[in-house]
Chains A and B, each alone.
Chain A
């Protein structure tokens, strides 16, 4: 049991470090992509929230939501690349933090298809924002691979934290984490962050 706690802490630490620079070529594209979601707190909280909520809901949501998110995110990214106009992208990203954070904080347990639909809806906004960076990247494929992997690792960090729910005190910690995420989302919505 203690091992899971150590893993959770380690994954949370690993998801944090950030060094902002634009690299060149394949390596630079990959690194830029890897850093892109991590450098935006609004992205970080929403993606951690997806993992948290998945862990909270249990199987199959714990793995289905992190699969749905990157796939729909890619669809959103494609919309951005193809120049399909989308209103209020930043508002959508902020709302994703609030919405997903509240789902965890209030321990909402909807049917799996509702959870997948909600996560997919928010993923479109995140994908759109990432997709806008793609054409300017030195290596678009390496950039996209980097940010998709980074997104997945942030989900994993959320799942790791979410595994605390196996202890009675852990559920409170996870729900409080959801509350913090909702607050951060709110901060972005009103322009405080």
Chain B
């Protein structure tokens, strides 16, 4: 029930405050809500959770660990103001990774442990790096980034747990692949938009 409520609230569209703090909220809550207002983050983190669940959590415990490691690394870099070239390049990279991860779920490919660990490390790092809210000062930024880290971790856990439970039933396994195909499709479209000459 809790997981369903969480998924529904995560998928509900909210106001457009992507990459900027919401006035009146504390820094921690601002950070926690940040991934929910950045659709590219949501797509990647849900796809990653689905992939981990589909591949089997027990088999990929190390990958869950490398996700946290990547997240911590990315958040630390973001705190120090490191940016991957520019904002558009960061979003493009996040979306490209979302396409790759979601496509792996659609194809239901059995990935080797090293590939899973690399993917989760890269995804965690990118998500952490792209979580900076430039408007915030040093201490406030650190608190917001901490909040984003918690949120990005929880957002990965729920689809992972659901996807793993869904592996027991044929139709639910199919459902996971269908959701992944939706993620692939929308990420591909926006990638094309970002890569279009006029963009």
Residues of A that sit less than 8 Å from B by CB: 24-31, 63, 66-67, 70-71, 73-75, 77-78, 81-83, 131, 134-135, 138-142, 144-146, 148-149, 152
Given A71-B184, A73-B185, A141-B40, verify A26-B15 contact (CB < 8 Å).
Answer: yes
Majority SS of interface residues in chain B?
A: helix
Which residues of chain B are within 8 angstroms of A140 by Cβ–Cβ distance?
A: 189-190, 193
Which residues of chain A are within 8 angstroms of B177 by Cβ–Cβ distance?
A: 63, 67
Would B192 and A148 count as touching, CB distance under 8 A? no
20 contacts between A and B (CB under 8 A): A27-B15, A27-B16, A30-B13, A63-B174, A63-B177, A66-B181, A67-B106, A71-B185, A71-B188, A73-B185, A75-B188, A77-B185, A131-B189, A140-B190, A140-B193, A141-B40, A141-B190, A145-B182, A145-B186, A152-B182
Which residues of chain B are within 8 angstroms of A138 by Cβ–Cβ distance?
A: 16
Q: Tell me the smallest distance from the CB of B13 to a CB of chain A, in Å.
A: 4
The contact of A142 among B39, B181, B188, by CB within 8 Å, is B39
Given A26-B39, A139-B39, A141-B40, verify A148-B196 contact (CB < 8 Å).
Answer: no
What is the number of residues of chain B that contact chain A, defined by CB distance less than 8 Å? 31
The contact of A82 among B15, B37, B106, B192, by CB within 8 Å, is B192
Cα distance A31–B14 in the bound complex, in angstroms: 11
CB nearest to A80 among chain B residues: B192
Would A77 and B189 count as touching, CB distance under 8 A? yes
CB proximity to A under 8 Å, residues B8-40: 13-16, 18, 37, 39-40
CB nearest to B181 among chain A residues: A67
Cα distance A104–B16 in the bound complex, in angstroms: 42
Which residues of chain B are within 8 angstroms of A82 by Cβ–Cβ distance?
A: 192, 195-197
Cα distance A27–B39 in the bound complex, in angstroms: 11
B198 CB–A CB distance under 8 Å: yes
B178 CB–A CB distance under 8 Å: yes
The contact of A135 among B106, B188, B198, by CB within 8 Å, is B198
Which residues of chain B are within 8 angstroms of A74 by Cβ–Cβ distance?
A: 184-186, 188-189
Would B106 and A26 count as touching, CB distance under 8 A? no
CB nearest to B16 among chain A residues: A25
Would B185 and A144 count as touching, CB distance under 8 A? yes
Would B193 and A81 count as touching, CB distance under 8 A? yes
Cα distance A31–B186 in the bound complex, in angstroms: 14
Q: Tell me the smallest distance from the CB of B36 to a CB of chain A, in Å.
A: 10
Most buried by B among A138, A144, A146: A144
Which residues of chain B are within 8 angstroms of A67 by Cβ–Cβ distance?
A: 106, 177-178, 181
Q: Tell me the smallest distance from the CB of A57 to a CB of chain B, in Å.
A: 15
Which residues of chain B are within 8 angstroms of A152 by Cβ–Cβ distance?
A: 178, 182
Which residues of chain B are within 8 angstroms of A71 by Cβ–Cβ distance?
A: 106, 181, 184-185, 188
Which residues of chain B are within 8 angstroms of A139 by Cβ–Cβ distance?
A: 16, 39
Cα distance A31–B195 in the bound complex, in angstroms: 24
Cα distance A67–B178 in the bound complex, in angstroms: 6
The contact of A149 among B37, B182, B191, B193, by CB within 8 Å, is B182
